Amino acid sequence: MEDLTLDEIRIRLAGDIAANAAFDGWTAAAREMAADANNIDSDVAALALPDAMTMIDAWFARIDAAMEEALSVETLAALKIRSRIQRSIEARLDAMAPDREALRRALAILAMPQHVVAAAKLGWRTVDLIWHRAGDTATDYNHYTKRGILFGVYAATVTVFLDDESEGFTETRAFLARRIEGIMRFEKAKAGFLKRTEHLPSLSRFVGRLRYPVA
């Protein structure tokens, strides 16, 4: 354990801290129990994960990694876009399922005013990864609209997931499927609109010509 880097310690402790957080919250006590279980010095663990936000960040990163492990690039490539997104979110939820109470406590911390920006960054990191693995290469405004919409869908799905007592979380999966279908309909409608308007006169080009007439 003496040869582990701080990043490696974060990865190693994240899962055990989450398991402890269900009972003790995202606290020093949860971290110390995880460190003891992994034979890591408590002071070193505190250096790697000094507060609740760093612990939650590390756990979310571990969940993202679990999502990637559950769905290989080859598996995703064989699916339609909507299925890539849906399966990715489902894999992430499956990875968090054993620690739903820890997730509930984490979200309560992230909802605090002082953590809103950090919470948004963590959520954006996840939806960006999902779209990237789904094959999205957009770099224009579509890059941001797709992620913004999925952020909302994911957040709503997690809310349902936290209180879902159905077998295999079938209610959550059905809710997610409906929301993903909504995204696909929106994207299809948007693509049709852009295609219909691509040859219409451009106001910006017209104003530009007024300012800089062609010689």
pLDDT at 202: 53
Q: How much is the pLDDT for 2?
A: 62
Tell me the C-alpha distance between 130 and 196, whole Å.
29
Tell me the domain boundaries of the chain. Answer: 1-50, 51-197
Q: How far is the C-alpha of 17 from the C-alpha of 35, rounded, in Å? A: 9
Q: How far is CA 84 from CA 38, 93, 114, 154, 203, in A?
A: 35, 14, 34, 14, 38
Give the integer Cα–Cα distance in Å for 105 and 59: 13
Q: What pLDDT does residue 141 have? A: 81
- One-letter amino acid of 144: Y
Mean pLDDT of each 10-residue bin along the chain, 215 residues long: 85 97 96 96 96 98 96 94 94 97 97 96 96 89 89 96 96 95 70 55 51 51
Which residue, 72, 60, 55, is CA-closest to 96?
60
Closest CA to 85 of 172, 162, 10, 147: 147
What topology is assigned to 51-197 in CATH? Answer: Tetracycline Repressor; domain 2 (1.10.357)
Distance of alpha carbon 196 from alpha carbon 56, whole angstroms = 45
* C-beta separation of 146 from 131 below 8 A: yes
